[in-house]
Structure 1
Amino acid sequence: MPRGNIAHGLTVLAGPTAVGKGTVSTYIRDHYPHVWLSVSATTRPPRPGEKEGVHYYFVSPERFDELVAAGEMLEWAVVHGRNRYGTLRSTVEQAVAEGRSVLLEIDLQGARQVREKMPEANFVFLSPPSWDEMVRRLVGRGTETALEQQRRLETAKLELAAESEFDHTVVNDDVQRAAAELVSLMGLAPSERT
C-alpha cells in the first residue's frame, strides 16, 4: 500500500505528561473494539503491570537504532531527555489496510513528525482540566522519582503551549466522557462505538 495513503483513518492523540493519554487509550481499547490502538516501541523498561506487545514493545537502544535506520518508524522521539519512543510503520499500515480506525497515542514530538508526513490525519490534543490536577495525577501515580517528576512537569509546560497546533482539544476531566468525545472526533458511527 502506498505510504501516502495511511493517513486515511488515522487519529493522533497527544498531550502533556500525566494528562491521562494512556488511561483514555486503555478505556478506548476496552470499550471501542473498532478502534485499533497502535502499540509503540520504547527503550524504557516496563512499569509494573505493563505487558510486551500490549502496552509497548520494549526494545534495546540498539534495536531501536536499527528500526530507525531501516525507516521502520513512522515517528519517534526522545522523551524527557531520556528514553526513546516510536511507532512502527508496518503495524499502522496493516491496520489501515484492513479498514480499521487507527489511534496513535504519542508525545508532542511524534505528533509533529506525523503532521509533517501526513497533514491530513486527525490531530487531537488531550488537555488536563487544570495544571494542579495534572500535577496531582503525576505525583499520585508514584511511578517516577521526585527528580523525574520535576523533569516531566518542565516538559509539560512546553507541551501545553502546543495545543493550538492540533485540530481538536479534548479535556480529560472524566475518562469515559473524554474517550467518547475522542471516538466521536474519529468519526465512528454509534454502532461502532460499543
Structure 2
Amino acid sequence: MNKVYAIIGPPASGKTSIVKKLREYGIPVLISHTTRPPKPDEKDGVDYYFVDKQTFEKMNFIEMVNYAEQLYGLTKEEVLKKANIHPVSVVDIDLSGFEKLKKLLGDRLELIYNFVDQDTIINRYLLQGEDYATIKHRIEYAEANGEFNNWEVADYVVKNSGPLIVTVRQILAIMDLVSLKIPE
C-alpha cells in the first residue's frame, strides 16, 4: 500500500529542510499552492506552485490557510496524483491539514512529529536574523495552537536538534527505505 508521510512540528523545527533533503533522495513531495511571490531561491513546481489570488480561489483544496495575508493550500488533485503513483511520498503540513488529509487517505497517511526544544528554535530564529519580538510572537502562536504538543497524536517522533542527516535517516528508516541497524 502506498504511503504518504506528513511531517509536522513547531516553527523553525526544520520541516522544510527535512522535506528538501528527502526530495534530494528522490522522495516525491506533495506541493502546495501559494499566492505569495517566490523567494529568490524558490522554484515554481518544486517548492510551491505560485499562482495569483484569482487562480487560487478557483482551485479545489483539501486544506487551505491564510498566513501573513498570503494563501496556501494543498489540492486534492496533487494529493491523489502522488499518493496513487508513488509507494512513498511526503508532505510538510500542519495538524489541521493532516486531519483533512486523513479523511481522504485513511491508513495510507502517517504522521511524523519533528521534535525540537524551544531553546533550539530560538537559536535558529536568531541565526536567521529574527528579532526577539518576532520570535516571541511566533513561539506564543505555536504554543496557543498546540504545536509543541502534537507529538501526542503522531505515529512517529523524531528529534531534530543535531545534524540534519541524522533526522533524515530516522525518517527514511520509518519509511522502511534504510536501516538504522549498526553492522556487527
- How does the TM-score come out when normalised to structure 2? 0.82
In structure 2, list runs of 5 or more residues that go unmatched.
180-184
Match of 1:170 among 140, 154, 158: 158
CA contact (8 A) 2:28 2:86 kept: no
CA contact (8 A) 1:75 1:87 kept: yes
Structure 2 distance, partners of 1:46, 1:77, is: 17
Structure 2 distance, partners of 1:27, 1:136, is: 21
Taking a change above 3 Å as real, the CA distance of residues 59 and 147 of structure 1, as seen in their structure-2 partners, is farther
| 1:9 CA displacement | 1.4
| 1:46 CA displacement | 2.2
Match of 2:65 among 77, 80, 84: 77
Q: How many residues align?
A: 175
Runs of at least 4 residues of structure 1 off by over 6 A?
A: none
CA contact (8 A) 1:92 1:102 kept: no
Match of 2:15 among 21, 31, 38: 21
Give the number of the structure with larger relative contact order, counting CA–CA contacts within 8 Å between residues 6 or more apart. 1
| 1:5-20 alignment runs, 5 A limit | 8-20=2-14
Match of 1:155 in 2: 141
Give the share of equivalent positions with the same residue, in percent. 25
After superposition, give the CA deviation of every residue in 1:160-181 in whole Å (9 maximum; x if it has no partner).
1222121111111221011111
CA contact (8 A) 1:16 1:107 kept: no
Q: Please identify, of 172-181 and 40-49, the stretch whose mean Cα deviation from structure 2 is larger.
A: 40-49
Match of 1:41 in 2: 33
| 1:189 CA displacement | 5.4
CA contact (8 A) 2:34 2:73 kept: yes
Q: Secondary structure at the match of 1:78?
A: strand
In structure 1, list runs of 5 or more residues that go unmatched.
1-6
- How does the TM-score come out when normalised to structure 1? 0.78
Match of 1:52 in 2: 44
